[in-house]
Amino acid sequence: HFTDRQHATNFLQHINGLTEDLQYTIEYPSSDGSIPFLDVLIHPDRTTSIYRKPTHTNLYTHYSSSSPQSTKDSLISSLTRRAYTLCTPCHLPEELLFIKQTLLSNGYPLNRIRLIMERTKTSLHKTKNKRKSTATPTSKTNLPYHAAYSKKMKTALQRYDITTTSSSPPNLMTVLNTNKTRGPKHSTCN
């Protein structure tokens, strides 16, 4: 336990002077007494909320992008799940509002945000031991993502107990890297 900042700073200088291979830093509480730890902001009253670095831009995949719908829904779900998991109840409404505003500014429709947030909340509140009533699909396949056809293919294949996942189409770097000529296996550089 440190008595003041100078005491903590002296200790930091001492441990950093022990070896050059490992250097420590120190984080002081902000003026309101809160301190960040990973994704969590710990408040003086021991409540928690989400911590974002000052450089965080709130930019995510825009809703109009050609990403699969499942990717966009996963963004909403993961931000919502993180809020329910890390925030204490007194900070949760503020965080959920912040998520909605951020997603709206990234082009997400409000009705989609509400739907996925509600689904996520419902799934989090289900009992852990409750088993799903749906049968486990017998087959799985990965198909290249196509904005017009991926959802239709997924629906059609579900009728035959086939689960599908979508992969992104190749980008220019992928295409160029796969067409490189390779040298002999055991060549060495001079």
What pLDDT is attached to residue 147? 76
**Tell me, what's the pLDDT at 57?**
96
**Dihedral in degrees, nearest 10, Cα atoms 151, 157, 158, 160:** 170
Query: pTM for the full model?
Result: 0.59
Residue 169 has a pLDDT of: 66
Query: What does the pLDDT read at residue 142?
Result: 75
pLDDT score at 16: 93
Encoding tokens for residue 32?
A: 């309101």
Across the chain, which has 190 residues, the per-10-residue mean pLDDT values are: 85 92 87 89 93 94 95 96 95 98 98 96 70 57 74 74 75 63 44
Q: Over the chain, what HEC string results?
A: CCCCHHHHHHHHHHHHCCCCCCCCCCCCCCCCCCEEECCEEECCCCCEEECCCCCCCCCCCCCCCCCCHHHHHHHHHHHHHHHHHHCCCCCHHHHHHHHHHHHHHCCCCHHHHHHHHHHHHHHHHCCCCCCCCCCCCCEEEEEECCCCCHHHHHHHHHCCCEEEEEECCCCHHHHHHHCCCCCCCCCCCC
pLDDT in tens, 54-101: 999 999 999 999 999 999 999 999 999 999 999 999 999 999 999 999
The per-residue pLDDT for 26 is 87
Specify the pLDDT at position 3.
Answer: 82
pLDDT score for 183 = 46
Q: Are 124 and 84 within 8 A, CB to CB?
A: yes
- pLDDT of the residue at 137: 52
